[in-house]
Chain A
């Protein structure tokens, strides 16, 4: 008896007791929830399990990238939703990064009016809910656009109206496949060229024209490839027939509204990250670089940008993951993303709440974990080597 009490005086024993109690408590809670859930599901007549995924879906989707039709099974409905989520996320990330960098650099401009306007934009978008922007773009802007007959033409090939954005579609995608291959090959060549240049510099101390090669391989070759592919392909250009456009590919208004909202909102946050990153490089760094005789352009590329990027990349990754999560705001305007298709329509049809919620959350968790793992690896690679 006394020995048992004596054991309690040992901090390690007590710590283990606390932790065991915590685990037991959580287990009991889980068992309680699971038992209730299974009882309630029996009462509602829902069988648990993933068999429902192979049932016929019968749900129409207005915006499909995967070739899904209503005759397919629920699992392909799930992948259709995932594809739509990824599409809007990737496009929004690219555009928001561009706009965010422009606004962020404008915020740092020495031109008083320019930096004030950029600051006003940042303060405006950061303090308003994203859902507001989604609804505003959808019901306020897109719905107020003219009908198909008076569409806003973009260079006479794409048309924006209240039924969405109609864009031309290539008739034969074969040329674009070749172009994509050429682009990937050219980027791989750039990677090899950088490695070669670095090794040569270490060996002989001579600079290779990396910037010129980089511009050529990263920008010029892909641009040429895309131009060639677009010229060599016949395009299905939308034409107004009666009350609507025929041909081309219709980007639904929900996509346009969600994209516009994500880009305008996220750009405000990215702009702040860019500003913070550039300001985080101490002034002494640029002074020291110019004292060493570097020209302004080389100071920017060799001293400022590498250090600013190191500060900017973790919060930028965070923002990109936020864009992924925020793409689910499309559910409010029925953009067919994974939340609205799977957690909305499929759940209503089948009633398999637990399985469907688990699968939907898994999409975000898996992508999030993959991106975090990659970022940790990347951060470790570019981290300052200290003694």
Chain B
């Protein structure tokens, strides 16, 4: 039988003797790794129950995740107030959907309206005041906090990043110098040091008496660093535009900001959207670093739950669960970014 007549899988895996040997070795390695994991996570696992004593099968104790699901999602946020976090999440999703599906001529206005309305609304819903019970940021946590930090840090990072990218491309020498210094400084230092820095220095450089919330410090610190990375992502888009675009806009009599807003940015941002999405993924991953100033996001809650005396030895369960959530979020975003990239490439052809 010639290889071409074999079914595809046999040709792929056992087409030649060398291929076959590699397949066998790899298969053994995979089985050696995967079989214990599958047995632990699925076959021998315990799904039902309420206490540690229910887990007698020797595999994973998913009961632990069930018992602590609320904490993994909301941290120590009061149980009877958790609907507020849900509502804030729904408001953001609806807001973004509203902008995406709005008719093209209303889209910009809708986006501006959402940018003005949603961030204060989210903070009001989560922290309370004006008729809602006040919830200290100390009690926020879990996946909710991961998303909160990611969204609010990028609310600082994206506008600042765009300004810095424009500054770096500007023909004004001092503006360019300041932008380059700012970008290279924040890109050159570790994010963990920036979070320490923000939590130590921000209270120091503000007038005495103005207390600044612990969580706000971390968000500002992250926002500044990610702004520098965003600026480099936007710069890619700006550099991809032919210089004729701005020259033509200027020749038509548009001012710098009109040309930037109407001609340059709409094209540049579309090109740099995949790169910006990648920076957002990096931001989601880096929110975990707030652990070092004892703010408990999803990973922090998982880590803190290991100290519970009622649930000793649940390290693997906590890590596998929190890790999978991070993986799902980041994988979905990276697929979307790749999709945008192929879309962009097709449009340019």
Contacts and interface: CB of A to CB of B under 8 A. Distances in A.
Interface of A: 15, 18-19, 22-23, 26, 33-34, 36-37, 39-41, 43, 111-114, 117, 123-124, 126-132, 135-136, 139-140, 143-144, 325-329, 331-332, 339, 343-344, 347, 353-354, 357, 360-361, 364-365, 368-369
Contacts of B22: 111, 113-114
A126 B178 CA distance: 33
A129 B200 contact: no
Nearest to A330: B192
B30 A364 contact: no
A365 B172 CA distance: 26
A76 to B, nearest CB: 21
A300 to B, nearest CB: 19
Interface stretch (B44-52, B201-209, B268-276): B201-209
B334 interface: yes
Q: A-side binding surface: helix, strand, loop or mixed?
A: helix
B40 interface: no
16 contacts: A19-B173, A36-B206, A36-B207, A124-B327, A126-B334, A127-B326, A129-B284, A131-B288, A135-B299, A139-B303, A139-B306, A329-B192, A331-B292, A357-B193, A360-B193, A364-B188
B204 A41 contact: yes
Contacts of A113: 12-13, 22-23, 26-27
Contacts of B205: 33-34, 36-37, 40
Contacts of A123: 331
B172 A15 contact: yes
Nearest to A117: B26
A297 to B, nearest CB: 18
B322 interface: yes
* Chain A CB within 10 Å, residue with most, of B190, B284, B288: B190
A112 B16 CA distance: 13
Contacts of B204: 36-37, 40-41, 353-354
A172 B13 CA distance: 53
Contacts of A144: 315
B173 to A, nearest CB: 8
Given A26-B178, A37-B205, A127-B331, A132 B13 contact: no
A144 B317 CA distance: 14
B201 A357 contact: yes
A132 B326 CA distance: 9
B222 interface: no
A172 B11 CA distance: 57
A111 B19 CA distance: 7
B200 to A, nearest CB: 5
Contact of B303 (A39, A112, A135): A135
Contacts, number: 141
B316 interface: yes
A132 B178 contact: no
Given A36-B207, A325-B190, A347-B200, A117 B30 contact: yes
Contacts of A329: 192, 289
Contacts of A331: 192, 292
B253 to A, nearest CB: 14
Given A19-B175, A127-B281, A132-B322, A326 B19 contact: no
Nearest to A20: B174
Contacts of B12: 112-113
Interface in B204-231: 204-208
Nearest to B167: A22
Given A36-B208, A329-B192, A353-B201, A132 B315 contact: no
Interface in B158-195: 171-175, 178, 185, 188-193
Given A127-B326, A328-B192, 11 more contacts: A113-B23, A132-B326, A136-B319, A139-B303, A328-B193, A332-B289, A353-B200, A361-B193, A361-B197, A364-B188, A364-B189
A113 B24 CA distance: 10
Interface string B20-62: 0011001100100000000000000000000000000000000
B286 interface: yes
Nearest to A325: B190
Contacts of A130: 285
B189 A19 contact: no
A353 B284 CA distance: 28
Contacts of B330: 126-128
Given A22-B175, A113-B13, A328-B192, A132 B288 contact: yes
A139 to B, nearest CB: 5
* Ranked 10 nearest A-B pairs via Cβ: A127-B330, A33-B205, A129-B285, A328-B190, A325-B190, A112-B12, A131-B288, A19-B174, A368-B188, A129-B288
A132 B190 contact: no
B259 interface: no
Contact of B188 (A34, A347, A369): A369
A123 B316 CA distance: 21
Contacts of A40: 203-205, 208
Interface string B302-317: 0100100000000110
B78 interface: no
Nearest to A139: B315
* Chain A CB within 10 Å, residue with most, of B22, B191, B285, B330: B285
